[in-house]
Amino acid sequence: MGKKSHHATRPLSELLRVGPGPVRLADRDPAATPGFPGKGKDDADRFTGAAAVDLSDLQERLYANSKVDGPPAPSVLVVLQGMDTSGKGGVIRHAIGLVDPQGVQIKAFKVPTEEERAHHFLWRVRNALPRPGMIGIFDRSHYEDVLVGKVDQLAPPDEIAGRYGEINAFERELADSGTVVVKCMLHISADEQRRRLLERLDNPEKHWKYNPGDVDARLKWDAYQAAYEAALELCDAEPWHVVPSDHKWYRNWAVAELLREKLSAMGLDWPKGDFDAAVERARVEAS
Amino acid sequence: MGKKSHHATRPLSELLRVGPGPVRLADRDPAATPGFPGKGKDDADRFTGAAAVDLSDLQERLYANSKVDGPPAPSVLVVLQGMDTSGKGGVIRHAIGLVDPQGVQIKAFKVPTEEERAHHFLWRVRNALPRPGMIGIFDRSHYEDVLVGKVDQLAPPDEIAGRYGEINAFERELADSGTVVVKCMLHISADEQRRRLLERLDNPEKHWKYNPGDVDARLKWDAYQAAYEAALELCDAEPWHVVPSDHKWYRNWAVAELLREKLSAMGLDWPKGDFDAAVERARVEAS
């Protein structure tokens, strides 16, 4: 698949990628639209729809590779992190929803259960990894253990400090075993979060999405931003992408496009069948 | 939601429903299009797209009801059965793919593993039931145990004969615990199956979908049709729907529409939040 008009003007895997060195979220505009090839929401909806065709084809190739004998097929793991209302659910609905649901495994990580807390913090994450041929989606992830874990001091400081290295080792292990990791931090401004929380409160049909605990976290905004900066900087075994998310239309298009780029770079061919097509044709015709 | 132009001319839950008494699949035309309000493929694609809006709204209500405190929310279980190539996967992709993947749990039942065979045949099925608020999709199901199980005599005849009653008891139990069961048999003709198998063989990109074992099952076509007739007739605790599936466009529209009818009949309201919206508004504004 070559360059198409709904593709980014430059690859998002470069434009949104966090480089080496200190990360300052305040220097990244959450309302920016890097690489967007059009003018606004209408274009974005059109481009996202066009991307669905490419994404469907690529996802089906990935899946097909797991359906024939041979070495384990690769898989993809999309990690979605972001403050409340940044749109992790919206991305799953509008971007991930473009591909065949049979090829997608979604896992939302909540406050750990008692059983999960009794294990190493990566235990529940390993249990939720995508099978070969699948696109796994993590709505929150192992990064919670260096985000809320750090902000609310849910473990001793030295234990938390050790987790960055453990996460790097874990993600290297994933890459080595054929899982392409796509890490996205959905970056919104505090003002945009206020607007979205008020919008939920103002519409009784959206009350179920509102959680008073979101305001408790909001009151620790700066501590969370600092914890994100540490995670983005220290967990560099697999690249992070900061997706400006004040514009929902940009955010959805960007994650779909980033996924398309990553799948495309895997160079997946259709697998060959392990049967003689002429023999099978004769069998079917005779039946 | 009232009657819309993309809805069936008469409810599919009535038109496609298997009534009491003997079932003869030979009397049901697999190329028929009962209830379809248009003229063919182009209309169907348009209507299916329009149905996506209703389906999204209904699915979100179902899901929302599981996100607030209170008694367990209801769930939906769509059971898809049909001969090879009848389009179970196509329905999941094109009809179920219309709703938010976060609200869908898909389970494909394969040849039972050793562990599954060591348990009662319903064990693996119970393990895969949808959580409250979710739409579960069974690609094959407990019915395999009275279909391939019967045709290939995988258990003694009296054991198989007893399964119909066990399935009825199981499905009553599901209904009693708030799971709406939507059973669809995708009905194709032997000629259409031949065309689809040859199509897979003629296109190397589709070879991964071709399984020589499908021809082995095809050679037992009449035995399978008889086994389906027995299952449709004897397992009447929850209604069966026979979906004519020689036209893929009708099949996809019909399953989406049937699901819409069933969700709509649940009369789901948006759940109320368990917080004081004015207090929360003040907290957000002050933050």
pLDDT digit string, tens, across residues A12-34:
999 999 999 999 999 999 999 99
pLDDT of residue B238: 98
pLDDT at B3: 65
> Which among B85, B259, B283, B285 is the top mutation candidate for probing chain A, defined by the most A β-carbons within 10 Å of its own β-carbon?
B283
**B110 interfacial to chain A (CB closer than 8 Å):** no
Would you give per-residue pLDDT tens digits along chain B (287 residues)? 456 788 999 999 999 999 999 999 999 999 999 999 999 999 998 898 888 999 999 999 999 999 988 889 999 999 999 999 999 999 999 999 999 999 999 999 999 999 999 999 999 999 999 999 999 999 999 999 999 999 999 999 999 999 999 999 999 999 999 999 999 999 999 999 999 999 999 999 999 999 999 999 999 999 999 999 999 999 999 999 999 999 999 999 999 999 999 999 999 999 998 899 999 999 999 99
CATH number of the domain that A241 lies in? 3.40.50.300
How much is the ipTM here?
A: 0.94
User: Considering the domain boundaries, does residue A2 fall inside one?
Assistant: no
Min Cα distance A62 → chain B (Å) is 11
Q: What is the DSSP string of B199-254?
A: HHHH-GGGGGG--HHHHHHHTTHHHHHHHHHHHHHH--SS-EEEEE-SSHHHHHHH
CB distance B72 to B281 below 8 Å = no
A-B CB pairs within 8 A amount to 118
Confidence at A1, pLDDT banded by 50, 70, 90? very low
Q: Which of residues 185-204 of A touch B (CB under 8 A)?
A: 194, 197-198, 201, 204
Query: What does the pLDDT look like over A137-148, one tens digit per residue?
Result: 999 999 999 999
What is the residue-averaged pLDDT of chain A?
Answer: 96
What predicted TM-score, i.e. pTM, was given to this entire model?
0.96
Nearest by Cα to B266 from B77, B121, B115, B74: B74
**Percent of chain A's residues with pLDDT above 70:** 99
Q: Which of B67, B93, B197 sits opposite A102 (nearest CB)?
A: B93
Contact A268, A65 (CB under 8 A): yes
Q: What is the pLDDT of residue A74?
A: 98
- Quote the number of domains for chain B: 1
Distance from CA of B162 to the nearest CA of A (A): 32
CB contact under 8 A, A212 and B283: yes
pLDDT for the residue A49? 84
In the DSSP assignment, the letter for residue A81 is E
Does residue B29 lie within any of the structural domains? yes
Starting at the edge strand found earlier in the chain, the sheet holding A179-187 runs A104-108, A135-139, A75-82, A179-187, A240-244
Residue A242, strand partner residues: A185
**Chain B hits for A97, Cβ within 8 Å:** 97, 100-101
Confidence band for A69, pLDDT divided at 50, 70 and 90: confident
In 3D, which of A186, A157, A20, A175 has the Cα closest to residue A95?
A: A186
Q: Which residues in chain B have their CB less than 8 angstroms from residue A280's CB?
A: 201, 210, 212, 215
In a domain, B46, yes or no: yes
Among the partner residues B201, B209, B275, nearest to A277 by beta-carbon distance? B201
From B233's Cα to the closest Cα of chain A, the distance in A is 28
| Integer Cα distance of A205 and A207 in angstroms | 6
Q: Evaluate whether residue A119 is within a structural domain.
A: yes
Chain B hits for A102, CB-CB cut-off 8 Å, are: 89, 92-93, 106, 108, 139
Q: Which residues of A touch B283 (CB under 8 A)?
A: 212, 215
Angstroms from A200 CA to nearest CA on chain B: 10
- Please give the Cα distance from A70 to A93 (Å, whole number): 33
Cα–Cα distance for residue pair A224/B137, rounded to 1 Å: 38
User: Does residue B108 sit at the A interface (CB-CB below 8 Å)?
Assistant: yes
The closest CB to that of A283, out of B104, B207, B215, belongs to B215
Interchain contact B112–A (C-beta under 8 A): no
Which residues from chain A sit within 8 angstroms of residue B97, using beta carbons?
97, 100-101
In a domain, residue B2? The reply is: no
Q: Do A218 and B101 touch (CB under 8 A)?
A: no
Assign A251 to helix, strand or coil: helix
* pLDDT one-digit tens code per residue, A173-231: 999 999 999 999 999 999 999 999 999 999 999 999 999 999 999 999 999 999 999 99
In a domain, A89, yes or no: yes
**Residue B68, domain extent:** 12-286
In a domain, B4, yes or no: no
Q: Measured between CB atoms, does A69 come within 8 Å of chain B?
A: no
B63 within domain boundaries: yes
User: Which residue from A93, A271, A284 is facing B100, i.e. has the nearest CB?
Assistant: A93
- What are the strands of the beta sheet with B179-187, ordered from one edge? B104-108, B135-139, B75-82, B179-187, B240-244
Query: Can you tell me the distance from the alpha carbon of A36 to that of A5, in angstroms, rounded to the nearest whole number?
Result: 10
Partners of residue B209 in chain A, C-beta under 8 Å: 64, 67
Contact (CB, 8 A) for A82 and A245 = yes
Give the mutation candidate from B69, B135, B195, B201 for the A interface (greatest A CB count, under 10 A).
B201
Q: Nearest CA to B164 among B82, B229, B223, B221?
A: B229
* Confidence grade of residue A70 (pLDDT, cut at 50, 70, 90): confident
User: Quick one: pLDDT at residue A75?
Assistant: 98
pLDDT value of position A50? 87
> To which H or E segment does residue A190 belong?
helix A190-202
